[in-house]
């Protein structure tokens, strides 16, 4: 059992991931002494941690755990054979997982609003936290990104309300349940459900089982918010649900968006057939309209009126790495986006294309996730990229399949490159003023964004 006293020293293994970094920031806010180590200590998380007075060390050495901390919190990237893990076990040091620590120390006795689903968790969590903030609720939150309105990944907040991005990935090497089963939400958003994380789940049914476990933790007086008529979601609910349910969607559901503009930047919100408000905001795409509806519904569950929620959306500034304008040079715009699943890739491209009209959209994709590298989504990737005017695919040596099949389906508009410098060189040859370059990866992509910006400026 975790010691709930805050006068303690905790050491976090895997501290630079967004989730574990958020845990570290929350622990520091509670007054704990926090240190941590990671294989790679890198920004932006390292900057946040250092600014908070947290000591960081690179690598996983036994020496990092001397003098011995009161508790070791292990990230899910840790595995047996890791020197630090073996030291903890051999010495009998107290240890726990990040989600369990969060449940025991931070979420206990709070109204948890959890946002789950295959896509849109970070955006919806950020929208929800901002709506509550604008309503004067000063919520706590832990989000797998950096919302521009807050400039930080996590904070304790000043009220019982806590917004958390609820990830289905496993908890730790000693706890293979999904992270989100630890959170016990009273308000649960289930955005969507598709097959992903093929490195730990065999099929969609295995993922649905974990979501069923999550649904089992929601009280009967709690609320589950979900899209209408999504078979994977409906089948999961049918496995057993004891809570109130609310469907939200574009043109369907109890709470719905109507009169949605082509790029998703404007829409009306109706509740039970009655017009509530009009939204005019900076976000793009139908997927973000759905994210907004889920956030509005969740905020309504804790007392925020729909018009107030819609008003807050107008001042939402977005999230780093979610269709973020990285820079502009000589009339060429470069965007950074986290999309790495075909559905997210398709919706991101559609949203930007609808917004830019006749301007040329160049999509550069690094299929980096474990699921992508394994080739699970190779048959749907070409369709996801189809709307782009030009497609550049980055094929890493670690991939288990070749991207040439995707290139062949897309024809002359697609090119496969195996070096980042080759992509930068190609763009210097091809990109023209007025072009929009969308770079998609769930990693750093070798710093391609800045490299491309610099090269285009020097061209």
Q: Is the dihedral of CA 449, 451, 454, 456 positive or negative?
A: negative
Residues 6 or more apart from 449 whose CB is under 8 A from it?
326, 327, 334, 336, 439
Instruction: Check whether 2 has a pLDDT greater than 50.
Output: no
The CATH classification of domain 9-97, taken from the options 3.40.50.1220, 3.40.50.720, 3.40.50.300, 3.40.630.10: 3.40.50.720
Report pLDDT digits (tens) over 76-130: 999 999 999 999 999 999 999 999 999 999 999 999 999 999 888 999 999 999 9
- Calculate what percentage of the chain has a pLDDT beyond 70: 98
Nearest CA among 59, 118, 131, 392 for reference residue 279: 131
Domain ranges of the chain: 9-97, 109-313, 324-458
How confident is the model at residue 43, as a pLDDT? Answer: 72
How confident is the model at residue 47, as a pLDDT? Answer: 85
- Calculate what percentage of the chain has a pLDDT beyond 90: 73
How confident is the model at residue 313, as a pLDDT? Answer: 96
Find residue 234's DSSP bridge partners: none
Instruction: Check whether 3 has a pLDDT greater than 90.
Output: no
Report pLDDT digits (tens) over 295-354: 999 999 999 999 999 999 999 987 767 778 889 999 999 999 887 778 788 878 988 888
How confident is the model at residue 198, as a pLDDT? Answer: 64
The CATH classification of domain 109-313, taken from the options 3.30.70.3270, 3.40.1190.10, 4.10.520.10, 3.90.110.10: 3.40.1190.10
How confident is the model at residue 301, as a pLDDT? Answer: 98
- Residue 241: both structure tokens together: 């649900």
Same fold, 9-97 and 109-313: no
φ, ψ at 415 (rounded to 5°):
-140, 140
Report the topology of domain 324-458.
3.90.190
Helices (H), 135-252: 204-216, 231-238
Give the C-alpha distances (Å, rounded to integers) separating 73 from 69, 90, 171, 247, 330: 10, 16, 11, 37, 47
Q: Is the dihedral of CA 151, 154, 156, 157 positive or negative?
A: positive
Instruction: Check whether 184 has a pLDDT greater than 90.
Output: yes
């Amino acid at each position: 059992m975790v010691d709930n006293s805050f006068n303690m020293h905790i050491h976090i293994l895997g501290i630079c991931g967004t989730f574990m970094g958020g845990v570290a920031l929350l622990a520091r806010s509670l007054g704990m002494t926090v240190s941590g180590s990671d294989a790679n200590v890198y920004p932006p998380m390292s900057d946040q941690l250092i600014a908070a007075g947290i000591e960081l060390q690179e690598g996983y050495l036994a020496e990092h755990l001397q003098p011995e901390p009161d508790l070791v919190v292990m990230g899910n990237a840790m595995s047996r054979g890791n020197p630090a893990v073996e030291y903890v076990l051999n010495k009998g040091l107290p240890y726990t997982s990040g989600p369990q620590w969060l449940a025991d120390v931070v979420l206990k006795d709070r109204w948890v609003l959890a946002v789950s689903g295959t896509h849109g968790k970070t955006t919806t969590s950020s929208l929800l936290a901002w709506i509550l903030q604008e309503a004067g609720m000063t919520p706590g939150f832990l989000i797998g990104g950096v919302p521009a309105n807050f400039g930080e990944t996590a904070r304790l907040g000043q009220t019982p309300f806590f917004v958390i991005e609820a990830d289905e990935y496993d908890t730790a090497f000693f706890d293979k349940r999904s992270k989100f089963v630890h959170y016990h939400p009273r308000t649960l958003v289930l955005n969507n459900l598709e097959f992903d994380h093929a490195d730990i789940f065999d099929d969609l049914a295995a993922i649905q089982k974990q979501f069923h476990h999550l649904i089992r933790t929601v009280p009967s007086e709690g609320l589950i918010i979900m899209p209408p008529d999504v078979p994977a979601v409906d089948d999961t609910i049918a496995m057993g649900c004891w809570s109130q349910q609310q469907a939200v969607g574009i043109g369907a559901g109890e709470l719905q968006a109507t009169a949605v503009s082509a790029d998703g930047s404007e829409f009306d919100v109706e509740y039970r057939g009655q017009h509530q408000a009009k939204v005019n905001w900076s976000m793009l795409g139908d997927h973000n309209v759905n994210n907004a509806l889920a956030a509005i519904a969740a905020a309504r569950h804790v007392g925020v009126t729909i018009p107030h929620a819609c008003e807050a959306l107008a001042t939402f500034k977005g999230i780093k790495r979610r269709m973020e304008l990285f820079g502009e040079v000589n009339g060429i715009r470069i965007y950074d986006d986290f999309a790495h699943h075909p559905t997210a890739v398709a919706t991101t491209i559609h949203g930007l294309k609808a917004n830019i009209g006749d301007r040329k959209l160049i999509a550069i994709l690094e299929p980096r996730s474990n699921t992508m590298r394994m080739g699970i989504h190779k048959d749907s990737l070409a369709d996801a990229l189809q709307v782009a005017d030009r497609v550049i695919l980055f094929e890493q040596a670690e991939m288990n399949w070749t991207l040439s099949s995707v290139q062949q389906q897309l024809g002359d508009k697609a090119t496969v490159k195996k070096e980042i410098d080759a992509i930068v060189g190609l763009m210097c040859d091809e990109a023209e003023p007025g072009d929009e370059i969308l770079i998609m990866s769930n990693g750093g992509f070798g710093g391609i964004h800045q490299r491309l910006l610099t090269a285009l400026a020097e061209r």
